[in-house]
Amino acid sequence: MSKTAIVVLADPKSGGDEAVGRLFNAMFVAYELKEKNQTVELIFQGAGVRWASEIVKPDHPAHALYEAVKDTVAGVCGGCADVFGAADDVRESGLKLVNEKAIPGTSGIIDLSKYLDEGYRLLTF
């Protein structure tokens, strides 16, 4: 069975449709793989950590799809949330901040290399 890690890097503060499109496409793939009973993990990293406070809002266009795939969310990069000023918003969203790999100047990040070590495909949006 294939394993896929989907990384959302798109910044919702960019103000464009492209960022929303990337978010939707990441969640579309997560939804499709989940339907096929494949292993899938959705990760918010880089400026993509800012989505955590947006997609939990019931009136957000991506909320329904988020609800359908939220059990695939591995977490939100803690160090990235620190850098992009989103740590408090992530905590309020209820999504899990992950600080598993120490990186200088951060509180720790999600270790994407572990996914490669475990045979996952990495998709970035």
Q: For residue 107, what is the DSSP state?
A: S
Q: What is the model's pTM?
A: 0.95
One-letter identity of residue 28: F
pLDDT digits (tens, 9 = 90+) for 30-47: 999 999 999 999 999 999
Average pLDDT taken over every residue of the chain: 96
- Phi and psi torsions of 60, nearest 5°: -75, 140
Domain boundaries along the sequence of the chain: 3-124
Asked: is 3-124 a CATH 3.40.1260.10 domain? The reply is yes
Round to whole Å and give the CA distance between 78 and 108: 6
Token digits of residue 69: 């795939």
Q: What pLDDT does 20 receive?
A: 95
Mean pLDDT per 10-residue section of the chain, whose length is 125 residues: 95 91 98 98 98 96 97 97 95 95 91 97 98
